[in-house]
Amino acid sequence: MVSAAQSLFAACESYVTSRQCPDAGFCFYRAWGVEESNPADTCAAIASLRLLSADIPRRDAVVRWLRATQLADGRFPSPTVAWYALDALRHLDEVLRADPRPYLHECVARLVPWLDADLSPSAALLELARLVESCLGEGVALASAARDIAASNVRSLRSGNGGYGRPQPNLIDTDCAVAVLFMLDLPAADGPLREFLSRCEDPEQGFRLVPDGSGGSLASTRAGLRLCTHLGAQVPARAAAGSRRFALACRTSNGGFGRSPGAIPTLDDTRFALEILLDQNLATQRR
């Protein structure tokens, strides 16, 4: 007899593989007749299938598609695209066609204080986290000046209540900021962070986005669990149970997961749900 969990994960695998396009990349909205493979969805799909211990359909073609995201000169359209490619290929135990380290060195050399950046604070923080992680994974050391800029940028988003983010501190940005500080071997003021995290606990969602709000998503629930791991804190039983219930409530009829109950399924949110439900060590999961 097939258990409820086996049925759930089988349906999830079917959802993910159904989002593979003819060129072997993935696109969560191809159900609407749009074939637009992209690095973000391809990365999330591969990570989800690995979490499910499932085979990667047309694996060799997927590897070729990912390698083609790297330009002929070894660069990428952006550090974020580089991160997607590196993360996906890591799950496949494959490498890029050209050494990415010269490109990553260039990106590090271009780090500037965020007062001069065009991105929103949240987007800039996520891009920084991905760049630092890519550099660590590829053995690219950050020079002292680059480390100082990175640390200063992160700390500029810290609030008096222990969280990070602008205009309002929130759990997703806080998790991202703490991850950067940990990767740079810098202190993260555990006491205020633990208090902020505690105030974000929610019995229905596991964790909500901000202390005084009620909104949440799979991303904020995942961020709360990751932050617990980073801080070496045990997830409170009520928050752990709420996280799993919330993830299950986000499941849709086609086997995928939406960001919140009733939302359309996406490959990113499906990855988040699987990480929550399969009780992974979330501190080792990439951005």
Q: How would DSSP label each residue in 40-55?
A: HHHHHHHHHHHHTT--
**Once rounded to an integer, what is the mean pLDDT over residues 12-25?**
98
**Environment class of residue 120 by beta-carbon count within 10 Å: exposed (0-12), middle (13-18) or buried (19+)?**
exposed
**Once rounded to an integer, what is the mean pLDDT over residues 210-226?**
93
Which pLDDT score, from 0 to 100, does residue 101 have?
97
**Once rounded to an integer, what is the mean pLDDT over residues 55-60?**
97
**Once rounded to an integer, what is the mean pLDDT over residues 143-151?**
93
* Listed residue (206, 244, 257) closest to 227, CA to CA: 206
Which pLDDT score, from 0 to 100, does residue 215 have?
84
Q: Which position has the token pair 């949240």?
A: 122
- The tokens describing 51, both together, are 């979490």
Which pLDDT score, from 0 to 100, does residue 281 have?
42
The answer to whether residue 1 scores a pLDDT higher than 60 is: no
For the chain, what percent of residues have pLDDT higher than 90?
Answer: 80
**Once rounded to an integer, what is the mean pLDDT over residues 151-156?**
93
What Å distances lie between residue 101 and 59, 135, 140, 156, CA to CA?
25, 8, 6, 28
The answer to whether residue 287 scores a pLDDT higher than 60 is: no
* Listed residue (26, 32, 10, 6) closest to 264, CA to CA: 32
Which pLDDT score, from 0 to 100, does residue 284 have?
40
Q: Which residue has the higher pLDDT, 286 or 110?
A: 110
**Once rounded to an integer, what is the mean pLDDT over residues 41-61?**
97
- The tokens describing 283, both together, are 């501190």
Least confident of 73-82, 114-123, 257-266: 114-123
The answer to whether residue 202 scores a pLDDT higher than 60 is: yes
Q: What are the residues whose beta carbons fall under 8 Å from the beta carbon of 233, sequence distance 6 or more?
A: 194, 197
Q: What is the DSSP letter of 259?
A: S
Which pLDDT score, from 0 to 100, does residue 167 have?
85
**Once rounded to an integer, what is the mean pLDDT over residues 143-156?**
93
Which pLDDT score, from 0 to 100, does residue 40 have?
97
Q: Name 206's bridge partners.
A: 202
The answer to whether residue 198 scores a pLDDT higher than 50 is: yes
Average pLDDT of the chain to the nearest whole number: 92
Residue 262: band (very low, low, confident or very high) from pLDDT cuts 50, 70, 90: very high
Contacts 24+ apart (CB under 8 A), 174-178: 174/223, 174/227, 175/223, 175/224, 175/226, 175/227, 175/230, 176/125, 176/126, 176/129, 176/223, 176/287, 177/125, 178/227, 178/230, 178/231
Cis peptide before 79 (omega within 30 of 0): no
Which pLDDT score, from 0 to 100, does residue 283 have?
37
The answer to whether residue 2 scores a pLDDT higher than 70 is: no
Helix (H) / strand (E) element for 122: namely helix 121-138
Per residue in 83-102, pLDDT (tens digit) is: 999 999 999 999 999 999 99
